[in-house]
Structure 1
Amino acid sequence: MELAFERRGAGPPLILLHGIGHHWQAWLPVLDRLAAERDVIAVDFPGFGVSPPLPPGTPYTAESLADAIESFCAMLGLREPHVAGSSLGGYVALELASRGAVRTAVALSPAGFWSRSELLYARTVLRVARASARATSPERALATAEKRLGRMISAGVMVAHPSRISAEAMVAGAQALGNAPGFDDTLESFVWMMPPAPPKAPVTIAWGEHDRLLLRRQAVRAARWSGQRVKLLRGCGHLPMSDDPELVARVLLEASAG
């Protein structure tokens, strides 16, 4: 499947997968750090960013998105690349590891390890964020993002340090969230999302210390699933790439060194 992507660097291939409602630009803070040692491909999921939607009749589920990424890798001639994902992208990375389709997988605060109440909370927050993004003009969003208080309110759930995100990146992220045709169906599919099957490739799971969307206690369930300790990303929120790019790049490079 043809998907929008950004490719930089040289070395072992590393696929980067964003969260629900986001786009490949979520990885911009770490892209060049990773590209110094990897052939990095940051991709928009079908129905997100500027990638086309899934074909009619194809359900928006994590499994369907994983199928699309497998097809994308085959189109680029990538055999068992390393993969890293954030949130929904983290779940898809683990799904690909369960299929044995990747060499290693890193999942940053992956979806799917929530309780019923935690899922209800996350879905509510995401719906509100989507509605706000759709109701706010780019000009108004930029004016809000340029103010310290507005930035804290707009990005405080997703990151621990809103000041580290540029106003332009915040507006672009809001537009991606508001315009994503795959958002509603994908969010609905979360109701039936269960942890993937046991992985057939090495996995690394890391969680933001101050994650306010997928709460940090979910890491305990992820640890039970993986059979290993989950790395704690100190000082980071749900999107650690923006909070501490150096730390996230180090985790991804170490995990994909094998």
Structure 2
Amino acid sequence: MAPREPIHAGSGEPVLLLHPFLCSQNVWRSVAAQLAGTGRFEVYAPTMLGHHGGPKSPTWMLHTQMLVDDIEQRMDQLGWETAHIVGNSLGGWVAFELERRGRARTLTAIAPAGGWGHHSVSKYETVLKFVMGGPALIAARLLGPRILRLPGARRLATLPVSGPADGPTDADLELLVEDATHCSAYVQLLVKTLRLPGLLELARLGAPTQLVLCEKDRVFPTPRGNRYFLTHLPKDTRVVRLDGVGHIPMLETPDTISELIAGFVDQHASKPGGSVGAG
């Protein structure tokens, strides 16, 4: 597939949206449209290195810092010295690293990855889950979206991403399958995760931060999947717990996620506005 142009719309406070591992900017389609539609936010949602429609990795040994470097270069191209950064899963990990470089006005981390030390059960459990999903990805690559019509396939496909099986729409689920089966960084990032520690120095964050945890998150299940963040983040971090949703809540309840982002940005921006809705 040819490189995909990032979602870039609206005007106002700069908001950067970063997607999860195996996904693309597509997971932000609804939220980006809602935020841009308020007239208060300039929204930018790129696809990261090694992911479907994003730039190719320049080396086999892809690591988090390269993902961060790429996003930082894109911010520079936009003329954004800083932005309100929102990241889900792998995107949350990248968001924290961008904050460490001084690029965040605020940080919203939704079910973020990287919540582990160099050697921890949580890290190895996470890698094992993705390795065990490898055969399903191979089958989906061979069959394409029609694999979702097989008995039980929708439930299997939605277990890692949503609470109920009917969480994502059919269109969103087909895009997820396409993105996951064309992610060239699949092995690279799992190897990187095994070799290197997770997030460090969380207590030194300088930007206002909100941590969003999802009740039905099966990738980083509560409590063990987010204990590291709750222990190491600054005491003034805002913690939001969403009931009934899975690891990628933008696909299940975009209105709620839009409201969370807009409200937090408004709280810390110079000119707060009203609410965000589906319109």
Same fold by TM-score greater than 0.5 = yes
* Aligned-partner Cα distance in 2 for 1:131–1:21: 15
Give the deviation of 1:3 after TM superposition. 7.5
Q: Select the residue among 186, 190, 200 that pairs with 1:196.
A: 200
Q: Select the residue among 223, 227, 250 that pairs with 1:220.
A: 227
Give the deviation of 1:196 after TM superposition. 3.3
* Aligned-partner Cα distance in 2 for 1:16–1:167: 23
* Aligned-partner Cα distance in 2 for 1:137–1:98: 37
* 1:75-94 equivalences in 2 (<5 Å): 75-94=77-96
Give the deviation of 1:173 after TM superposition. 1.3
Give the deviation of 1:136 after TM superposition. 2.5
Q: State the match for 1:174 in structure 2.
A: 177
Go from structure 1 to structure 2 and tell me whether the alpha carbon gap of 1:129 and 1:220 turns closer, same or farther (over 3 Å shift). same
Say if 2:265 is the partner of 1:256.
yes
Structure 2: gaps (5+ residues): 269-279
More helix by share: 1
Go from structure 1 to structure 2 and tell me whether the alpha carbon gap of 1:121 and 1:56 turns closer, same or farther (over 3 Å shift). closer
Q: State the match for 2:213 in structure 1.
A: 207
Alignment TM-score, normalising by the size of structure 1: 0.90
Asked if the contact 1:99–1:199 (Cα under 8 Å) also holds between the matched residues in 2, the reply is: no
Q: Return 18-27 or 162-171, whichever deviates more.
A: 162-171
Say if 2:245 is the partner of 1:236.
yes
* Aligned-partner Cα distance in 2 for 1:135–1:242: 23
- Write out per-residue CA displacement over residues 71-127 of structure 1, whole angstroms, 9 at most, x where no aligned residue: 111012112011101001001111111221121111111111147222222212222
Go from structure 1 to structure 2 and tell me whether the alpha carbon gap of 1:148 and 1:39 turns closer, same or farther (over 3 Å shift). farther
Q: Select the residue among 123, 128, 134 that pairs with 2:132.
A: 128
* Aligned-partner Cα distance in 1 for 2:135–2:55: 22
Give the deviation of 1:146 after TM superposition. 4.5
Aligned with 2:81: secondary structure? coil
* Aligned-partner Cα distance in 1 for 2:73–2:51: 17
Say if 2:59 is the partner of 1:50.
no
Alignment TM-score, normalising by the size of structure 2: 0.83
* Aligned-partner Cα distance in 2 for 1:17–1:183: 17
Go from structure 1 to structure 2 and tell me whether the alpha carbon gap of 1:29 and 1:160 turns closer, same or farther (over 3 Å shift). farther
Go from structure 1 to structure 2 and tell me whether the alpha carbon gap of 1:194 and 1:164 turns closer, same or farther (over 3 Å shift). closer
Say if 2:120 is the partner of 1:111.
no
Asked if the contact 2:116–2:199 (Cα under 8 Å) also holds between the matched residues in 1, the reply is: no
Aligned CA RMSD, in angstroms, stands at 2.2
Q: How many residues align?
A: 255
